[in-house]
Chains A and B, each alone.
Chain A
Amino acid sequence: MNGTPEANLIRRAYWFIRIRWIAAGAVVAITFFATRALHIPIRAPALYAIAGTLAAYNLVFLIHLRRVTAGPEPVPASTVNRTAALQISFDLLALGALVHFSGGVENPFLFYFIFHMIIAGILLTRRAAFLQAALAVSIITAVAVLEYSGAVPHHCLGRYVGRTLHDNALFVTGVSFVLASTIFAAVYMATSISSALREREAALAATNALLVEQDCIKSEYVFRVTHDIKGHLSAIRSCLDPVVEGVTGPVPPEQLNLIDRARRRSDTLLTFVKALLELTRMRLSKEIVMDAFLIEHAVESAVSYVEARAATKSIVVDQAIDDTAGWITGARVYVEETIANLLANSVKYSRDGGRIAIRVTDEGETVLVEIADRGIGIPEDEIPRVFDEFYRATNARAAERDGTGLGLSMARQVVERHGGEIWIESREGRGTTVSMRLPRNPPRGLSVGPALDFQRGEAYHEGSAGRRGVAQSG
């Protein structure tokens, strides 16, 4: 979300405000130095007042920016741009006043107008930037003309500058002209560069949108194909089951052996297809329905799903849940399933008599769930890949032929859809710890693509072939 043009704009707006704090401070410091150390007879009180004004309206703009960005809706770019334009205009007026009270056209700080033009060129549209340039030139010209004509008093810089410089028509015209042309040239160059950058940004955003869309089409395709395959698989298994279970009468052992193998393979495939369906559905779903639930309950039921399997390998599952773990908002079915899948992985890749620890830590705004085992671990160079779809670590494949390679992709998908993070620490032969951090209140609008609108998670567990159908969120 941080890469959107709006987010960039807001970041720039904050940056702009930070710069102004520095500018206000600099005005105070330079005025102090100029009057106390250099003894330049400038109007210090007026300059301090301008610095104060600068700080005051900066504060107002900061509060305004905080307010508009606090809401849940994205801030329209036009609002940010308008505010930026207003700030630049204020800055130009402040700088004009500053220059006027410190020597007018004699003041070398006159060239600071160019900074503003560069900022305008970056932040604003070309037209708005040129309007700012026109304002800047008008202010400079006004200061020069009014002081030259004597309509406003000239505040002399004292012995540092010739007494009559502001009265010298050639000097005044020359400075004004050079400055004005520099200003327009600066704006022209800055806007040219920034509009080229903006075009590229837009092109990248468009490409990205296209990729997201294509990814969605791909997911839909995968979903449909997988769904179709599942239909055939269901039929295959429906036909094999009664035979293997003897419903149709006794089957000679030699035949039963082969039929049962076929059934088991169809079962494995069905598990895989279900996982793939689940993952694609999750990717295609616009929004997942979230409710508040106790994380403790989710963990407890997840543990109960793997207990039987853990028991067959004499594996102990230790639970340590913070008393304050409390409520989180999320899709309980998915969260529970994710924890159960991670636990199932730990059971699968632990040695007989092993230990698995699940720990839930209250972190205030977030909840940390860690699942640690002392199983076979993951080779170091393969850790970054284990969240990839269909990826299975080499040692995992060697230990267990069956596995979809989708469990961790699913886990990542679930955690990311909740605005959380998931990571793995592992040492081959020593064990693995999977950690997931879930926000108590996931931000809204985490969804990606359009398309199908699924409400609820179909329960999927490796090896249990979706038997957990009736698990319900509270």
Chain B
Amino acid sequence: MSDKQKILIVDDDPDIVEAMKVVLESRKYDVSVAGSGEEGLALAKSVRPNLIILDVMMETGSKGFEVSRKLNADEDLMKVPILMVTAIKEKTGIGFSHESGDDAWLPVDEYVEKPLKPGELIKKVEALLKKNPA
């Protein structure tokens, strides 16, 4: 790892945000956090993270999807890998976008269920960053 890689966490559960932040910071990532979709989008534009961890179930229940589509539509951000986390995987009826093939609809790179163990979180983050070197 060269410079400090930047990770943006967008989640409306402050405790989960805090826990993930602690874990990621222990691995020397530069972590910024956003508690809403709007804040997340704004922060993504200013911070230019190497990876975004995005929660599905924010506010309206599917705000995360909207955010992921907006990120994907943004020229500067479309290459940033997204790790989508959710409270319930199938609640919304979607599977795993990269396997089901409708990437355009849900442009995320990985889709995982909460809670993630620290080890898993780090593994997923490392894998995504390796796959998409900034």
Contacts and interface: CB of A to CB of B under 8 A. Distances in A.
Contact of A230 (B23, B87, B96, B118): B87
A456 interface: yes
Interface string B69-106: 00000000000000000011111011110010000000
Interface in A230-272: 230-231, 233-239, 241-242, 245, 247-248, 270
A279 B53 CA distance: 29
Contacts of B93: 453-456
Interface in A197-240: 227, 230-231, 233-239
B101 to A, nearest CB: 13
Interface string B45-83: 000000000000100000000000000000000000000
Counting chain A residues whose Cβ lies within 8 A of the other chain, the interface size class is 20 to 34
Contact of B112 (A453, A455, A469): A469
Contact of A238 (B20, B89, B95, B112): B20
Given A230-B88, A472-B95, A239 B15 contact: yes
Counting chain B residues whose Cβ lies within 8 A of the other chain, the interface size class is 20 to 34
Contacts of A281: 90
A17 interface: no
A455 B90 contact: yes
A336 interface: no
A241 B116 CA distance: 9
A233 B99 CA distance: 29
A238 B90 contact: no
Contact of B19 (A227, A238, A472): A238
Contacts of A455: 90, 93-95
Given A235-B16, A455-B90, 12 more contacts: A227-B88, A230-B88, A235-B19, A241-B19, A242-B23, A245-B118, A247-B22, A247-B26, A456-B95, A457-B90, A458-B88, A472-B96
Interface of A: 227, 230-231, 233-239, 241-242, 245, 247-248, 270, 277, 281, 453-458, 466, 469-470, 472
